[in-house]
Structure 1
Amino acid sequence: MPDHEDCGLRLALDRLGEQWTVMALAGLVPGPRRYRELERSLTGISQRMMTLTLRRLERDGHVRRHVEPTVPPSVTYELTELGRSFADQVAALVAWTRVRKQEIEASQARFDAETRR
C-alpha cells in the first residue's frame, strides 16, 4: 500500500477493531432503529458499550442520532450515506471470511501442529 501513513486506513481500522461496531452496523442496515430495539438485537452488549459504540459511529459520521421530544425522549439511530457505504465494505469482508473460514482454520491447525513438534 503506497503512502499508507496518512491514507485514512487507521480511521476504518479503529472502528473495525472494536467488537461491537460490525454488529451495530449490521443492525442498522435494514433501516432506522430505536435504541432499545438495536440493543436487544446485539445479544451480550452492555448498555455502556452500546452507548460508546453508537457515539463513536456517530462521531465518525456513520450513524445519525434522532431525539424525539417525547417523555421519555425517544432516540432513533440510522446509517448515514457514509455509514451505509462502510457497512457495504464490512459486508464484503464478512462474505470473504465465510468463504475462506475453513481454509484459514485448516492453515492454523497445520501451523499449530508443526510448531508443537
Structure 2
Amino acid sequence: MPACPVETTLSLIGDKWKVLVLRDLITGTKRFGELKKSIGTVSQKVLTAQIRDMVENGLVHRKVYAEVPPRMEYSLTELGQSLQPVLDAMRNWGEDYKSKNA
C-alpha cells in the first residue's frame, strides 16, 4: 500500500468504472447485467475486471448460485459500505459544480 492515504484510496476506487459500480451497489444487490445496463458504455471485459479487482480488495461480495446458467449477484461488503460518505461527498460536490456552471 502507498504511504499516502489518498493514494491508497485512489488505488482502490480511483477508476471511473469502480466508482460507478459502487454508486449502483450502494442501493443494494445487483446482478452483472443490471450493473452493465446502468453503467452503459463500459465493455463487459473491463467491467468484469473492475468487479473482480474490487472483490479481491474486499469491497464487493460476489455470490454465485449453483444454477444453469450460473447466476451471480454482487453486493457491497461492510468495507465497501464504509465508502458511502466518500460517494455522498462526490455527489454533493458534483451537484454544486453543475449548479454553478450550468
Aligned length: 101
Q: Among 51, 54, 57, which residue is 2:54 paired with?
A: 57
Q: How far 1:19 sits from its partner (Å)?
A: 1.5
Q: Is the 8 A contact 2:29 2:73 kept in 1?
A: yes
Partner of 2:10: 13
Alignment-mate amino acid for residue 51 of structure 2: L
Look up the match of 2:66: 69
- CA shift digits 1:39-86 (9 cap, x unpaired): 111110100111011011111111000000000110100001110111
Deviation string 1:21-48 (CA, Å, 9 cap, x unpaired) is 1110011111111111111111101001
Q: Return the index of the structure with the highest Cα Rg.
A: 1
- In structure 2, what residue type is equivalent to 1:76? E
Q: Which runs of 5+ in 1 are unaligned?
A: 106-117
5+ residue gaps, structure 2, are none
d(CA) in 1 for partners of 2:96 and 2:28? 27
Paired with 1:8 and 1:60, the residues of 2 have a C-alpha distance of 16
TM-score, with length taken from structure 2: 0.84
Q: Structure 1 stretches (4+) deviating beyond 3 angstroms?
A: 100-103
Checking the alignment, whether the CA contact within 8 Å between 2:12 and 2:57 is kept in structure 1 is no
The aligned counterpart of 1:46 is 43
Question: For 1:66, what is the secondary structure of its paired residue?
Answer: strand
After superposition, the CA RMSD in angstroms is: 2.0
Amino acid at match of 1:97: G
Asked if structure 1 preserves the Cα contact closer than 8 Å seen for 2:25 and 2:74, the reply is yes
**Alpha-carbon distance between aligned partners in 2 of 1:94 and 1:15, rounded to the nearest angstrom:** 18
Residues 1:87 and 2:60 are matched in the alignment:
no
Counterpart in the other structure of 1:25: 22
